[in-house]
Structure 1
Amino acid sequence: MKVLVTGAAGFIGQKLVSALIADPLYTDITITDIILPKTPRSPEEKPVTAVLSNLATQADREMLVTKDLDVIFILHGIMSGMAEKNFESGMMVNFDSTRGLLECARKRRWHESRNKLFIGAQVVPGIKVVFASSLAVFGGTLPDEVTERTMPTPSTSYGMQKMLCEYLINDYSRRGYIDGRTLRFPTVVVRPGAPSGAASSFVSGIIREPLNNLPSVLPVSRDMSLWVSSPRTVVSNILHAVNVPAEQLGEMRQINLPGITVTVKEMLEALGAVGGEERVELVKEQKDETVQRIVGSWPARFRIERAMDLGFVGDGGFAQVVKEYIEDEGILV
């Protein structure tokens, strides 16, 4: 299959590209971002094309969305904290550019192949689109456990922007313009590298920095519960989404991905058990009311029967998540 990955310079984007290269199903891979994404080594010598682009511009979107694409993985975006600080940028990157990509996919399909759209009374699905959404579409007063039927009531602009994209993907899929799959990511932990602009950046920071013998700030209370998943599991679920039959999704294209409910206290206990108690002592509490409000508005408990029935997978526990990070990054403990 020929695929396009947006946001490919990001952490999850790079891991996804490596997984695509290793998968024989994918034969032609284009990766793009606002900075030129690195091209992971391809021992299979697959064609991997890295493109510098600004998806806020129509010309770049039209260049990338070609009529022979089989799958678009939409991973780009401005993270929660930055989208809250800069409404205009959040709308442009998280909503407008995504809508523009969907329109390119629709127009390519309907303008260039209009006479081939129907077989009998059946609409032939368009390009598969796997969209990275977020648990941040939920907020406010929530039930004890969230399902796909729970009404999204985002408490942040970031969540609102993701929710708007979800509605577009549902309707574009219903009309046959695309074959969409919306994945609501848990908080992905542990992310390597520098802290991001996400309000939830501390969730990785309180594990990553201590394991690298660096101090870290905890801006929320230790009893806060979070819904989290490891990078390995999230990438595996992104790939699996491509293979889920459209008829099993129906008109509700949103899927709440499996995760782990864990408190900050339990995360630190896992850090101590795996990395040693001296690492936990590097975490210092420094309350940030804005971070507490944003992250505290997200649900921490989900019903995931639908995702599991569709073949998505979960993690084995938070201690295992920490061990995977240590293994992936080659950290000595």
Structure 2
Amino acid sequence: MRVVVTGAFGFVGRRLADALLRTRTFGGTPIRRLVLADRIVQPDSPAAADPLVDVVHGDVIDRLGEVFAEPVDVLFHLAAAVSAQCEADVDLGMRANVDTTRALLDAARAQSATGGPRARVVFSSSLAVYGSHPALPLPPLVSESTLPMPQSSYGTQKLICEHLIADYTRHGFLDGRVARLMTVAVRPGQPNAAASGFLSGIIREPLAQRPVTCPVRPDLQVALASPRRTVKGLIRIAEVERGAGPGQLHGPMPVNLPALTVSVAQMLATLRQVAGDAVADLVTIGPDPAVEAIVGSWPSVFDNRRAAALGLEPDPDFMSVVRDYLTDRRTGGVSR
């Protein structure tokens, strides 16, 4: 069993790699090699030093020969340009998201066509494939059957990739699975270029005694998932067998990972409850119409039944998300 993770040294990728290394199996089968591919590599990370791991350094689209140097059984494709980057530079987003994904799919197709295994490809999509327009507003409760209508370049690029994966799967070139991620919070480290990055920043930065600006109105509702629930969801969607029975993956439809719906005001109230007034007062409200236009177009209330049928549940409340973050920050732990 040879497993590949692209974007493996990003936030979610690191935690996914760590989870796979803890069990050293996929679906009960021992992992023979775990390939961690990323344009930015942390050579001193524990994962990179693990004897089970091979590291591929560089843009994935330029390193396909190394990724597919041996047969790939499972491919987690997490590498992507993020939302605000794609909005500012459409060409960058098309290359990083659409062109790279198609190249990976074509490499998997070629592997199967030449007698190799039919790769199981797990694609991390996004709730950004949805969007509300005055002519066709979102329903109050969003499910996988809701028409995706992205209102950002990032969401459009993710949706293009979803359709490519569905078509390649229909033709039998590969076994594609699409997990639509909610906004993952709370993320440690430095702020990134994602439009949703402030949803981690308004918790992370004050807890580190740094002031931060919240660029949206406090009553805005958002759909979140903790790193732990996100990694669990990716692995479950990857490992589950296809079929019509209970606990199996039915049909080609993507799976929306379970969402916790919370308002920004509730997030800030939780911060105040956990850390006190002095910390919570480090957050100021400073509206940024560009950020609110992107994040505000995403749905916040999801029908989680499809995920629940696979044994996946949302975080119980935002307090549990913050406590997980504090525990991981204190212990250096990762998702479990």
Report what 2:213 is aligned to. 217
Q: Which moved more, 1:171-180 or 1:132-141?
A: 171-180
Equivalent-residue separation in structure 2 for 1:147 and 1:16 (angstroms): 25
Matched AA of 2:2: K
Compared with structure 1, are the counterparts of its residues 66 and 128 closer, same or farther at alpha carbon in structure 2 (3 Å cutoff)?
farther
Report what 2:79 is aligned to. 76
Equivalent-residue separation in structure 2 for 1:14 and 1:98 (angstroms): 20
Equivalent-residue separation in structure 1 for 2:66 and 2:47 (angstroms): 24
Report what 2:121 is aligned to. 129
Which runs of structure 2 are paired with 1:165-180 in the superposition (5 Å)? Answer: 165-180=161-176
Which runs of structure 2 are paired with 1:116-155 in the superposition (5 Å)? Answer: 126-140=118-132, 141-155=137-151
Equivalent-residue separation in structure 1 for 2:152 and 2:61 (angstroms): 21
Equivalent-residue separation in structure 2 for 1:195 and 1:179 (angstroms): 34
Report what 2:230 is aligned to. 234
Which runs of structure 2 are paired with 1:298-309 in the superposition (5 Å)? Answer: 298-309=298-309
Aligned residues: 318
Q: Which 5+ residue runs of structure 1 have no aligned equivalent?
A: 114-124
In the TM superposition, residue 134 of structure 1 has moved relative to its aligned partner by 0.2
In the TM superposition, residue 277 of structure 1 has moved relative to its aligned partner by 2.1
Matched AA of 2:91: E
Q: Work out the percentage of aligned pairs sharing the same amino acid.
A: 40
Matched AA of 1:162: K
1:163 pairs with 133, 151, 159, which one?
159
In the TM superposition, residue 275 of structure 1 has moved relative to its aligned partner by 1.7
Equivalent-residue separation in structure 2 for 1:27 and 1:63 (angstroms): 16
The answer to whether the 8 A contact 1:18-1:40 is kept is no
Report what 1:316 is aligned to. 316
Task: Give the TM-score taking structure 1 as reference length.
Answer: 0.91
Report what 1:29 is aligned to. 34
Task: Give the TM-score taking structure 2 as reference length.
Answer: 0.91
2:98 pairs with 92, 95, 99, which one?
95
Matched AA of 1:145: L
Residue 6 (structure 2) pairs with residue 6 (structure 1):
yes
Matched AA of 2:207: L
Root-mean-square deviation over aligned CA pairs: 1.8
The answer to whether the 8 A contact 2:144-2:253 is kept is no
Report what 1:187 is aligned to. 183
Equivalent-residue separation in structure 2 for 1:329 and 1:175 (angstroms): 45
Equivalent-residue separation in structure 2 for 1:77 and 1:23 (angstroms): 26
The answer to whether the 8 A contact 1:170-1:251 is kept is no
Matched AA of 1:261: T
Q: Which moved more, 1:125-134 or 1:153-162?
A: 125-134
Equivalent-residue separation in structure 1 for 2:276 and 2:259 (angstroms): 25
Q: Which 5+ residue runs of structure 2 have no aligned equivalent?
A: 26-30, 332-336
Matched AA of 1:176: G
Matched AA of 1:231: P
Report what 2:334 is aligned to. none
Matched AA of 2:105: L
Compared with structure 1, are the counterparts of its residues 182 and 227 closer, same or farther at alpha carbon in structure 2 (3 Å cutoff)?
same
Q: Which moved more, 1:239-248 or 1:181-190?
A: 239-248
Q: Deviations over 1:12-57 (max 9, x none)?
A: 1111111111013133101011122446436995411111121233
Compared with structure 1, are the counterparts of its residues 43 and 154 closer, same or farther at alpha carbon in structure 2 (3 Å cutoff)?
closer
Q: Deviations over 1:273-326 (max 9, x none)?
A: 112222110001111000010000000000010111022232121001001101
Equivalent-residue separation in structure 1 for 2:176 and 2:190 (angstroms): 32
1:69 aligned counterpart, secondary structure:
coil
1:246 aligned counterpart, secondary structure:
coil
Q: Which moved more, 1:29-38 or 1:80-89?
A: 29-38
